[in-house]
């Protein structure tokens, strides 16, 4: 009986051509990578390079103003008994210091805690723009943003390694980790060099990019499906409502993933810096 | 050379399906062993949870790279 009802509903849909109540075509407009291409608000060229001011740039600028403004206002007049804004700022700073820096690097990493705090909050706020109504694009879903952050992290941990262990010593310790039988160095050394110098920045950037890209694509698919399935027959309403509920649930999941990806990015940065500070022993 | 077999359509979906096998098993192992570790020593819950989430994110990255690559090297 349900199969008959479903067949009837499908026939009714294709007959009247009212797959959704606005236009008559029945193809599902599946979101693809094109939804990430936005028209720029303004373009200008400087030194022969073209700059496109797209929504991503505007959102990134808003994120910068938010974070810098928040931390500036929180710690402008620091008191021993903190004010409310200062205690919230302290929460953020101490979270990164205790859970990330001290766990992974230890006491030697105090110098890098401000950098890790900035990194964590920048990645998190850039991710959060995916679920904020006016923004709705995760800034980190353009590969340029995670790639730039990852390049910065790569430069920093290589510089820290070269400065702490000497140029030759750093690469020697990276290529020849101690405690390995001599014959294995033939295959271990290229793998170690390749992994540390090339694979690390690549996976750091692509992990963040792919998570945000896939999450945004998923949310868009379910939102478009909720709109597309909305028609007058009861099955359309049920499917549309289910799709909408799934959008809400996936938004909650997406917020968890955003925070997790920011945490992972900072944790791995701390791990790489810690590995560069002292040789493996 | 005559064509014997051909796959048309969305190769990206097949690619992602294949790419998700390994990380699926990996994430299962991570959380399974994490739950076992918590059961053995409940007071270490916080440190175990942190390591579980770290391992999950590293493994999930591989599946998501498999999802994104068809878009990057798209048609």
* Most confident option among A230-234, B15-19, B34-38: B34-38
Which DSSP helix (H) or strand (E) runs through A167?
helix A167-175
Q: What is the mean pLDDT of chain B?
A: 89
pLDDT at B75 over 80: no
CB contact at 8 A, A100 and A272: no
Residue in B57, B65, B71 nearest the CB of A260: B57
B38 vs A230, more confident: B38
User: What is the phi-psi region of residue A97: left when phi exceeds 0, alpha when psi lies from -120 to 50, beta otherwise?
Assistant: alpha
The per-residue pLDDT for A280 is 62
User: What is the phi-psi region of residue B5: left when phi exceeds 0, alpha when psi lies from -120 to 50, beta otherwise?
Assistant: beta
Residue A203 forms contact with B (CB below 8 Å): yes
pLDDT tens sequence across A65-74: 999 999 998 8
Task: Evaluate the CA torsion angle A25, A220, B58, B74 in order and state its sign.
Answer: positive
Q: Where are the beta strands (DSSP E) in A126-202?
A: none
The per-residue pLDDT for A19 is 52
Q: Which residue ranges of chain A lie beneath pLDDT 70?
A: 1-26, 231-232, 279-281
CB contact at 8 A, A165 and A173: yes
The per-residue pLDDT for A155 is 94
Distance between B69 CA and the closest CA of chain A, angstroms: 9
State whether A260 and B65 contact (CB < 8 Å). Answer: no
3-class DSSP state of A29: coil
- The interface predicted TM-score (ipTM) is 0.79
Alpha-carbon distance A147 to A201, whole Å? 8
Neighbour tally for A184: CB within 10 Å = 9
């Amino acid at each position: 009986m349900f199969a008959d009802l479903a067949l009837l509903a499908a026939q009714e849909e294709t007959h009247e051509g009212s797959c959704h109540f606005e236009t008559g075509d029945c193809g599902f407009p599946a979101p693809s990578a094109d939804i990430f291409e936005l028209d720029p608000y303004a373009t200008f060229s400087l030194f022969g390079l073209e700059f496109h001011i797209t929504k991503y740039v505007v959102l990134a600028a808003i994120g910068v103003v938010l974070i810098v403004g928040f931390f500036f206002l929180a710690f402008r007049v620091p008191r021993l008994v903190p004010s409310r804004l200062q205690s919230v700022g302290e929460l953020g700073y101490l979270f990164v210091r205790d859970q990330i820096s001290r766990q992974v690097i230890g006491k030697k990493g105090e110098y890098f805690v401000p950098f890790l705090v900035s990194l964590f909050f920048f990645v998190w706020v850039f991710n959060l723009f995916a679920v904020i109504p006016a923004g709705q694009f995760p800034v980190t879903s353009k590969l340029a943003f995670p790639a730039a952050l990852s390049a910065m992290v790569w430069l920093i941990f290589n510089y820290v390694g070269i400065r702490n262990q000497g140029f030759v010593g750093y690469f020697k310790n990276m290529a020849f980790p101690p405690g390995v039988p001599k014959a294995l160095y033939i295959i271990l050394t290229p793998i170690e060099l390749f992994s540390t110098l090339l694979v690390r920045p690549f996976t750091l950037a692509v992990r963040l990019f792919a998570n945000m890209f896939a999450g945004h694509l998923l949310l868009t698919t379910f939102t478009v499906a909720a709109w597309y399935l909305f028609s007058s027959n009861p099955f359309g309403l049920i499917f549309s409502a289910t799709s909408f509920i799934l959008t809400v649930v996936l938004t909650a999941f997406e917020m968890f993933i955003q925070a997790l990806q920011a945490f992972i990015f900072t944790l791995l940065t701390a791990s790489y810096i810690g590995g560069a500070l002292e040789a493996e022993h | 050379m005559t064509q014997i077999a051909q796959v048309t359509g969305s190769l990206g979906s097949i690619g992602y399906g294949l790419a998700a096998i390994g990380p699926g098993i990996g994430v299962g192992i991570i959380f399974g062993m994490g739950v076992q570790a918590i059961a053995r020593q409940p007071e270490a819950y916080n440190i175990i949870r942190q390591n579980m989430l770290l391992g999950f994110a590293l493994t999930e990255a591989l599946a998501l790279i498999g999802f994104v690559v068809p878009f990057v090297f798209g048609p």
